[in-house]
Chain A
Amino acid sequence: MLGRTLREVSAALKQGQITPIELCQKCLSLIKKTKFLNAYITVSEEVALKQAEESEKRYKKGHSLGDLDGIPIAVKDNFSTSGIETTCASNMLKGYVPPYNATVVQRLLDQGAVLMGKTNLDEFAMGSGSTDGAFGPVKNPWSYSKQYREKRKQKPHGMLAGHDPKDSTTIQDPGKPFMLSSLTDVSKLCIGIPKEYLVPELSSEVRSFWSKAANLFESEGAKVIEVSLPHTSHSIVCYHVLCTSEVASNMARFDGLEYGHRCDIDVSTEAMYAATRREGFNDVVRGRILAGNFFLLKENYANYFAKAQKVRRLIANDFVNVFNSGVDVLLTPTTLSEAVPYPEFIKEDNRTRSAQDDIFTQAVNMAGLPAVSVPVALSNQGLPVGLQFIGRAFCDQQLLTVAKWFEKQVQFPVIQLQELMDDCSSVFEIEKLASVSLQQ
C-alpha cells in the first residue's frame, strides 16, 4: 500500500480496502524503521492518529473531504504547524511551538490530510543538500541500494496556486483548482532548450537524459528548438546578492524577545541580541546575514544590491523574450549530476555548493515562473536523475499537463523502501553506528 500512488491510495480509502487509521499506523511504523534516514525532526504520532480517526469517521458517514482525506503527509519543518514544534532545523527555534498554521498547512488539513510530522532540512533552508541543519544531515534512501550518498534537496514541485488573504504579496486572481487532463498529442507544443544550460560541468549522464527527452518530444511531433537566455550565467550571482540582502533584513526578527532562543545575558538589549543570535544561528546563516549587510551598506548599495536588481530584470526579460517567440515550455536539467557522496559534498562550503547546484533551478525564481522537476531515470549508480520544465508565467496548468505527459512516458520506478530494508538489514546496523559519528 505504501508504494502506491496517491491516487491509488485515495481510491483504496474510498472503497474501504484500507482505513485511514490502518494507513496511518503503517506509515508510522515505516517512519520508525527508517529513522536512520534522519528525514524527520518531529513525528507527530498522537496528532496523526487523531486526524486519522476523524478521517475514518468521515469515510464511514460517506462525507470524505476529497482526494486528500486520510492521506498521510509530512511537512518541511520551516512551515508553521499550530501546536507542533517548528524549528527550521535551527537552535534559534528549538522548542518553538507556533500558535498558527501556515496557510499551505491549513489548506492541506482542511482537505483531511493526516500530518505525520515535520521533516528535516538545512538550517532555515539555506543550502542544497540538507546537510547543514541543527539535527544532522538527511540520508538518501536511494543510496541504500548501493552506497551511502547524500540526498540533494528536491526543489519545490510546481507552484501552489491561489491567493492567501494573509499574504498581501500573493496574486489576487481567483486561482481555480484545476484537473490535469491527459495529454495525448504534443504535436502542437513548442519545447525550448536553452543553450546556456549546457555547461561543461554537466555530467554526461544527465546530458544524455536531457537529449533523450528532447528527442522524445520531437519524435512525438512537438517542435523542439534551441533558444537563448543570455544572462543565465549571471543568475546565480544575482541571486546570491539579493538573497543575502533579504536574509539580512528578514532574520532581524530573531532577537530572543518574543519567541525562540534567548541567551542569559542581561546587560543590554544589543548584547543580548548579539549573543542570542550567535548561539541560535549556524555559520551558514550568520555568513549570509553578514554578507547581506555588507551589500546593503550605504557605500555598497548601488554597486551590489541595485546592480543585482538590474541584472534580475535582464534575466526576467530573457525569459519573456523566449516565451514571446512562441515557446510553450522550456526543458532543462535539474542538477549537474546525480547526488554526490556525503564526504565529497561537504568538502566545499555551503555557499559554494549552493552556487554550483542551484544553477539550473535558480533563474526561474528571479523571473517568477512556474517550474517542476520530474524524475526521469536512475543513473548508472542507481540514483535518481530529474529534468526540469519551466512554464510561462501563470500557465501552471499547461506546464503540469506537459510534465504529466512526460512522467507517463518515462515510467520512473517507485522506491520500494520495504524491499530495500529487507535486502539490507545488516547494512543498516553499520549505518546506525556511522550516523552517530557523522553528527559529531
Chain B
Amino acid sequence: MWARAVWLGRRSWMGWRRGFTSKGDPQVKTGAGRAGGEAAQETERVPPMTPSPASSAQGSGRVTAEVIEHLERLALVDFGSQEAVARLEKAIAFADRLRAVDTDGVEPMESVLEDRCLYLRSDNVVEGNCVEELLQNAHRVVEEYFVAPPGNISLSKQDEQKPFSHTD
C-alpha cells in the first residue's frame, strides 16, 4: 500500500514527486471495476478494429481529398484552407490515442443518467400561438412561411469557392 507518510504534515513537494511519478505505484484497490486493473497501465495491445479507408490514410497522417469533399458535403461547412485540413489531421491523431485503452467487454455509455427514464410531460397543449415572435427572427418570410431556396440540388464544386487546392 502506498505510504501514508508522503502526506503527513509538512512534506516538501519533493515528497509528493517521489510518491507519484513511478509507474509501479500501488493503487487503492476498490471493488471489482471492470478492466480497472489492466487499463491502469497504458496497454501496447491495439484492440482489433475494422479497417477503413479513413484510418488507413491516417497511417500517413493525411486525410484524402475524397474524405475532405465528403465531409464538406455532410457538414455543409468547408475547410477553407490547408491549415484547416492540417487541424483536422491533428484532431484525428489526438483521437487515435483512444486506441491504447482496453475496452473489451465494456458497454458504450450514452448518458450518465442511463438508469433513469426521460421525463415526459402530459400530452396537453399549454403554450403556442407565437407565430409572429418566431417569424420575426427569420430573414426571408412570406406570409407565415419561412422561405428557402430550391432543394434537391446537390452542392456542386462551383458553389464552394475553394481558395486552396488540396494535394495528396
Question: B20-60: which residues lie under 8 A (CB-CB) from chain A?
Answer: 20-21, 25, 27-28, 30-31, 33-36, 39-40, 42, 49-50, 52-55
User: A314 to B113, Cβ gap below 8 A?
Assistant: no
User: B33 to A299, Cβ gap below 8 A?
Assistant: no
Give the total number of A-B pairs whose CB atoms are below 8 A apart: 263
User: B53 to A314, Cβ gap below 8 A?
Assistant: no
Q: Does chain A have a CB within 8 A of B120?
A: yes
User: A170 to B119, Cβ gap below 8 A?
Assistant: yes
Known pairs A234-B97, A265-B159; A270 contacts B77 (CB<8 A)? no
User: A316 to B55, Cβ gap below 8 A?
Assistant: no
Partner among B28, B80, B103 whose Cβ is within 8 Å of the Cβ of A325? B28
Nearest CB to that of A260 among chain B residues? B137
Measured in the bound complex, the distance between the Cα atoms of B120 and A168 in whole Å is 7
Measured in the bound complex, the distance between the Cα atoms of B109 and A368 in whole Å is 12
User: A274 to B98, Cβ gap below 8 A?
Assistant: no
A268, A297, A325, most chain B CB atoms within 10 A: A268
- Shortest beta-carbon distance from B4 to chain A in Å: 8
Partner among B54, B120, B138 whose Cβ is within 8 Å of the Cβ of A258? B138
- Shortest beta-carbon distance from B71 to chain A in Å: 5
User: B153 to A226, Cβ gap below 8 A?
Assistant: no
Chain A residues with Cβ below 8 Å from B35 are: 314
- Shortest beta-carbon distance from B6 to chain A in Å: 7
User: B148 to A351, Cβ gap below 8 A?
Assistant: no
Partner among A198, A248, A325 whose Cβ is within 8 Å of the Cβ of B30? A325
Measured in the bound complex, the distance between the Cα atoms of B47 and A201 in whole Å is 30
Nearest CB to that of B78 among chain A residues? A278
Measured in the bound complex, the distance between the Cα atoms of B10 and A38 in whole Å is 43
Interface stretch (choices A130-138, A153-161, A305-313, A408-416):
A305-313
User: B30 to A351, Cβ gap below 8 A?
Assistant: no
Partner among B94, B137, B149, B151 whose Cβ is within 8 Å of the Cβ of A266? B149
Q: Does chain A have a CB within 8 A of B110?
A: yes
Q: Does chain A have a CB within 8 A of B124?
A: no
Measured in the bound complex, the distance between the Cα atoms of B130 and A99 in whole Å is 9
Question: A291-342: which residues lie under 8 A (CB-CB) from chain B?
Answer: 291, 293-295, 297, 299-300, 302-304, 306-314, 316-318, 320-322, 324-325
User: B91 to A244, Cβ gap below 8 A?
Assistant: yes
Partner among B25, B75, B103, B110 whose Cβ is within 8 Å of the Cβ of A314? B103
User: B106 to A314, Cβ gap below 8 A?
Assistant: yes
Q: Does chain B have a CB within 8 A of A273?
A: yes
Question: B115-160: which residues lie under 8 A (CB-CB) from chain A?
Answer: 116, 118-121, 130, 133-134, 136-140, 146, 148-151, 153-156, 159-160
Q: Does chain B have a CB within 8 A of A355?
A: yes
Known pairs A266-B149, A307-B98; A294 contacts B154 (CB<8 A)? no
B6, B101, B133, most chain A CB atoms within 10 A: B101
Binding site for B on A (CB under 8 A): 96-97, 99, 163, 165, 168-172, 193, 195, 198, 204, 207-208, 211, 214-215, 218-219, 224-228, 230-231, 233-234, 237-238, 240-241, 244, 248, 255-260, 262, 265-275, 277-278, 281, 283, 286-287, 289-291, 293-295, 297, 299-300, 302-304, 306-314, 316-318, 320-322, 324-325, 349, 351-352, 355, 367-368, 393
Top 6 A-B pairs, shortest CB-CB distance = A368-B112, A309-B108, A299-B52, A268-B153, A313-B109, A230-B40
For this complex, 17 residue pairs linking A to B, each with C-beta atoms less than 8 Å apart, are: A168-B119, A198-B20, A255-B76, A257-B148, A267-B153, A268-B159, A270-B153, A290-B72, A290-B75, A290-B79, A295-B95, A299-B54, A306-B108, A307-B99, A322-B30, A325-B28, A368-B112
Extra contacts besides A214-B7, A266-B149, A352-B90 (19): CB < 8 Å? A99-B133, A226-B2, A226-B7, A227-B28, A237-B98, A269-B149, A269-B151, A270-B155, A274-B78, A278-B77, A287-B84, A291-B95, A294-B71, A294-B88, A295-B95, A299-B50, A299-B55, A314-B36, A322-B28
